[in-house]
Amino acid sequence: HRALKKVALNQGHRLSRSYSAASIPTTKLFINGQFVESKATEWIDLHNPATNEVVTRVPKATQSEMEDAVASAKDAFKSWSKTSILTRQQIMFKYQNIIKANMKELAKNITHEQGKTLVDAEGDVLRGLQVVEHCCSIPSLQLGETLSGIAKDMDTLSYRIPLGVCAGVCPFNFPAMIPLWMYPVALTCGNTFVIKPSERDPGACMMLVEMLMEAGAPKGVVNVIHGQHEAVNFICDSPDIRAISFVGSDQAGKYIYERGSKNGKRVQSNMGAKNHGVIMPDANKEQTLNQLVGAAFGAAGQRCMALTTAVFVGEARNWLPDLVDRASKLKVNAGHEPDADLGPVISPQSKDRICSLVESGVKDGAKLLLDGRNIVVPGYEKGNFVGPTILTDVQPNMKCYTEEIFGPVLVTLSVDTLDDAIHLINSNPYGNGTAIFTANGATARKFTQEIDVGQVGVNVPIPVPLPMFSFTGSRGSFLGDANFYGKAGINFYTQLKTVTQMWREQDATDTKAHVAMPVMR
Ligand code: NAD
């Protein structure tokens, strides 16, 4: 069972409690099937968010290293794009098996570098694994179309063919899932890939590409570079990269979309969010409160689909004390501690930003019903912890409402009617996700029909579709034409080629050439 063996812990992106400065391991590049020590002159220290100890140093790859990565992907494309689709399918079958067998190792790495709880980290891997599993259907997913007899003796066939070298730029909050949204889909369609994981937690991506090699992918089909703005600029400008997948903040997403598009590349850009949950007075109370608390504070609120904004309709506002009570019972601790419900946020800067947005809400007149800003976690006093925080009486013009907080903070508003709630949500620039909690089918149907948000839940707080569908954030949360994974993902990573062919018996009497455009006969 070679394919199921645990991937060896030897690449400098593994777990370790503490290091002396001289022995801090480095995160490697992955170029042409090899882990490569970077010759970078600039390095980024990666800190464990629960302790702020340095875990690894991440290089800002040099220009020539990034060029090597693209050259390797370009070279690999020549043969990879010609492998049979069944070969690529078989690699995905093996790959999903290896990821499953290494789920706990991956989760440990995620908790160590990113901070989320171990259970949540396994969920991070699982949601990416599901994309790999879906890629196992590639022979059906990549089918083209045919039409025979479009003219006399003439047929047309369309093929979905790969683009060439594609690239991905990833955020910190799902270090396994988001890389897995990208290269498995691109690869099974016959492309090769250069990926830049988040410089804040690249370890899971490094483990995942190692597992891909273990599954039988040839060298060069996926290459990993590290860095920040320069690496992103390189990806946007490299003439050999045909398409860019981006997931992250608005600022970076708009920039990459513009710069990549100007250079003639396809770009899909998933960005920030402000997801509203509408609570109707007829909702199942206990279930709704549990779901709100889980979706607002899980992963310390660092999910693009976190339910960060609760809109209570009418009498439902009376549930606030129960909501506060439930949220206050959550246990904040280092992610690897078994009792942790939520771990730290990614960095001290992020904590400061979250706390200052909460403060701005208070100054603007919101009421702080639960304040997690001054929490101290015994044994992890240096960690970036923020406890569950709830602001109420929030108004749409307040900064705590208009900005994405990306921390364990739930802002709540009250409105009188469902129409008011719909108007509020449709007036918000973001369109990532929303949910309604109700026991009334007609109310739910009205909401799903009238709401202008790409992913809608009915009694489902985080309505992220499984990979047979696509991740369909809309409006301010997305730039591009084709969404991630599902049919849209296949469309993104392929272009259509149509072949029109005529096969006619020889006819010695047919001696006149026709020069006019063909007309229907
Ligand atoms: P980020 O934009 O800071 O970083 C994402 C990537 O972009 C990183 O690889 C980073 O190196 C690069 N980058 C950062 N700033 C850049 C700049 N100015 N120019 C060029 N490149 C830059 O995002 P993050 O903090 O890692 O992730 C959190 C954000 O991602 C949140 O806004 C969240 O909503 C969003 N997100 C969205 C989705 C989605 O599917 N819509 C999913 C996950 C996260």
Q: Which ligand 1 atom is nearest residue 171's CA?
A: 26
Ligand 1, atom 38, residue with closest C-alpha: 304
Query: What is the pLDDT averaged over residues 101-127?
Result: 98
Give kind and range of the element (H or E) at residue 484: none
- Ligand 1: residue whose CA is nearest its atom 14: 252
Atom of ligand 1 nearest to the CA of 432: 41
Asked if the model's pLDDT at residue 344 lies above 80, the reply is yes
Residue of minimum CA distance from atom 15 in ligand 1? 252
pLDDT value of position 520: 72
pLDDT band at 433 (very low <50, low <70, confident <90, very high): very high
pLDDT at 521 (0 to 100): 66
Ligand 1 pocket, CB under 6 A: 169-174, 196, 198-199, 228-229, 232, 247-249, 251-252, 255, 270-273, 304, 404, 406, 432, 471, 473, 477
pLDDT of residue 268: 98
Structure tokens at 482: 């084709």
The residue nearest atom 17 of ligand 1, judged by CA position, is 252
Residues 6+ apart with CB under 8 A from 38: 26, 28, 29, 59, 61, 62, 65, 226
CA 419, chain centre distance (Å)? 32
For residue 509, report the distance from its CA to the centre of ligand 1, in Å: 68
pLDDT of 21? 52
What does the pLDDT average to over 160-173?
A: 98
Mean pLDDT, rounded, for 211-230: 98
Question: Distance from the CA of 477 to the center of ligand 1, in angstroms?
Answer: 12
- When pLDDT is averaged across residues 434-456 and rounded to a whole number, the result is 98
355 is catalytic: no
Contacts of 394 (CB under 8 A, 6+ apart): 361, 366, 400, 401, 411, 412, 413
Ligand 1 centroid to Cα of residue 211, in Å, is 25
- Tokens, residue 406: 């990306």
> Per-residue pLDDT averaged across 365-387, rounded?
98
What is the CA(248)–ligand 1 centre distance, in A?
2
Tokens of 127: 């949601």
Map residue 149 onto helix, strand or coil.
strand
Half-sphere exposure in the Cβ direction for 195 (13 Å, CA): 32
Which of 84, 213, 192 is closest to 138 using CA atoms? 84
User: In the chain, what percentage of residues exceed pLDDT 70?
Assistant: 96
Quick one: average pLDDT of 415-428?
A: 98
Q: 15 to each of 110, 320, 438, how far by Cα in Å?
A: 10, 41, 45
Distance 403 CA to ligand 1 centre (A): 15
- The structure's pTM equals 0.95
Indicate the burial class of 418 (C-beta count within 10 angstroms; 0-12, 13-18, 19 or more).
Answer: buried
In the chain, the amino acid numbered 458 is V
Residue 386 bridge partners (DSSP): none
Write out the H or E segment, with its range, that includes residue 405. none
Q: What is the mean pLDDT of residues 444-456?
A: 98
pLDDT at 16 exceeding the cut of 50: no
Structure token digits, residue 457: 């839940």
Q: Which atom of ligand 1 is nearest to the CA of 248?
A: 30
- Whole-number Å distance between alpha carbons of 375 and 378: 10
Quickly state the pLDDT bin for 514 (edges 50, 70, 90).
Answer: confident
**Active-site annotation holder among 170, 236, 304, 400:** 304
For residues 411, 412, 413, 419, the Cα torsion angle rounded to the nearest 10 degrees is 100
CA 302 to centroid of ligand 1, rounded, Å: 12
Burial class (CB in 10 A: 0-12, 13-18, 19+), 365: exposed
SS3 call for 441: helix
pLDDT surpassing 50 at residue 2: no
Question: What ligand 1 atom has the least distance to the C-alpha of 198?
Answer: 9
Average pLDDT, the chain: 95
Q: Identify the three-state secondary structure at position 55.
A: strand
* Ligand 1 atom nearest to CA at 273: 34
CB 401 within 8 A of CB 350: no
The answer to whether 472 and 453 have CB atoms below 8 angstroms apart is: no
113 Cβ contact list (under 8 Å, min separation 6): 46, 48, 55, 56, 175, 200, 201, 202, 203, 204
List C-alpha distances in Å: 257 to 167, 170, 384, 472: 13, 14, 32, 17
Sequence-ordered list of residues with C-beta below 8 angstroms from that of 76, at least 6 positions apart, any chain: 32, 192, 218, 219, 220, 221
Average pLDDT score over residue span 138-149: 97
CA of 456 to the centre of ligand 1 (A): 23
Residue minimizing CA distance to atom 39 of ligand 1: 270
8 A C-beta contact, residue 493 and residue 163: yes
pLDDT greater than 80 at residue 14: no
- Pocket probe mutation, ligand 1, options 116, 249, 474, max atoms within 8 Å of Cβ: 249
Q: How far apart are the first and last CA of the chain?
A: 63
Q: Is residue 203 pLDDT above 50, yes or no?
A: yes
Quick one: pLDDT band at residue 518, thresholds 50, 70, 90? confident
Angular region, 480: left φ>0, alpha ψ -120 to 50, beta rest: left
Q: Band of the pLDDT at 9, cuts 50, 70, 90?
A: very low
Cα–Cα distance between 443 and 435 in angstroms, integer? Answer: 12
Find the Cα–Cα–Cα–Cα dihedral 106, 109, 110, 114, rounded to 10°: -170
Paired tokens of 155: 């047929």
**Got the DSSP string for 155-172?**
EEEEEEEE-SEEEEE--S
Query: Distance of alpha carbon 411 from its chain centroid, rounded?
Result: 24
Asked if 80 and 222 count as a contact pair (C-beta separation under 8 A), the reply is no
d(CA 211, CA 8): 10
Distance CA 302, CA 14 (A): 23
Kindly report the protein residue whose alpha carbon is nearest to atom 9 of ligand 1: 198
Report which protein residue has its CA nearest ligand 1's atom 11.
228
Host H or E run for residue 54: strand 54-59
473 CA: nearest ligand 1 atom: 41
